[in-house]
Amino acid sequence: MNIKLKIWRQKNAKAKGKFVNYNLDNVSPEMSFLEMLDALNNKLIIEGDEPVAFEHDCREGICGCCSLYINGTPHGPGEKSTTCELHMRSFKDGHTIVIEPWRSRAFPVMKDLIVDRNAFDKIIAAGGFISIDAGSSQDSNAVLVNKEKADEAFISASCIGCGACVAACKNASAMLFVSAKVSQFALLPQGRVEAVERVQSMVAKMDELGFGNCTNTYACEAVCPKGISVTNIARMNREFLAAKIS
């Protein structure tokens, strides 16, 4: 395959970025998207140019680092998959692929395709944890948990914090991410003790960091690589309202 790439290049957080065009030949359809970028960077280094900066870690769809906006879609055309799980067979020979970083005031571009996603860490630090003294390990049947709620909590906890929901939302809302982290505790008895403080603190931090509001377009759910449901947003809203009137 011979492909054309239109990639966002930005020297640093303060520099003005722009799109730069590249041509890459002999691309194997079996290459992952990140392997294709590796091949491009090898070519650029040989030619004496600066390689494209992009983030990655596990390359197994677990860490969420490989967050790229590809042809107008977070993580590209794959369904329920991250960028590192995307393969070049999803594209056609001769096509142009446009690659950008996430676009959000809360996720400033650091360099090229890398954004600062520390905003998510700050939201977690605000309340995404259980701080009560749980004591020693209890018998497995001492705290009974409804199977359906346990399953929902597990699914909510599978959110990898990649930020695709923010990138897809026209308002750059982080509601899906925050609601998933609220839900994974709110659904379990161990998390109910601090539920009021948790939801208020995390929502307040989300607003402080400049994320937009949810307008229920469901774009976040559509691009989430882990299939996190917008029902979590409804649950978080109920939790937040109950906390305010309690």
Q: What confidence score (pLDDT) does residue 246 get?
A: 78
Residues 67 and 124 both lie in one domain? no
pTM score, whole prediction: 0.93
Could you tell me if 196 and 175 lie in one domain? yes
CATH number where 222 lies: 1.10.1060.10
Is the domain of 124 the same as that of 99?
A: no
Same domain for 69 and 128: no
CA separation for the pair 213, 202 (Å, rounded)? 14
> Residues 126, 8: one domain?
no
The parent domain of residue 233 ranges over 117-132+141-245
By CB atoms closer than 10 A (0-12, 13-18, 19+), residue 132 is exposed
Compute the residue count for the chain: 246
CATH code for the domain in which residue 51 is found: 3.10.20.30
Angle at 175 between CA 171 and CA 176, to 5 degrees: 110
pLDDT at 133: 76
pLDDT at site 134: 66
96 — phi, psi (to 5°)? -95, 130
- Print pLDDT tens along the chain (246 aa): 999 999 999 999 999 999 999 999 999 999 999 999 999 999 999 999 999 999 999 999 999 999 999 999 999 999 999 999 999 999 999 999 999 999 999 999 999 999 999 999 999 999 999 987 767 777 777 778 889 999 999 999 999 999 999 999 999 999 999 999 999 999 998 899 999 999 999 999 999 999 999 999 999 999 999 999 999 999 999 999 999 997
How many structural domains is the chain composed of? Answer: 2
Do 10 and 70 belong to one domain?
A: yes
Residue 101 shares a structural domain with residue 7:
yes
Q: Which of 188, 196, 178 is nearest to 232 (CA)?
A: 178
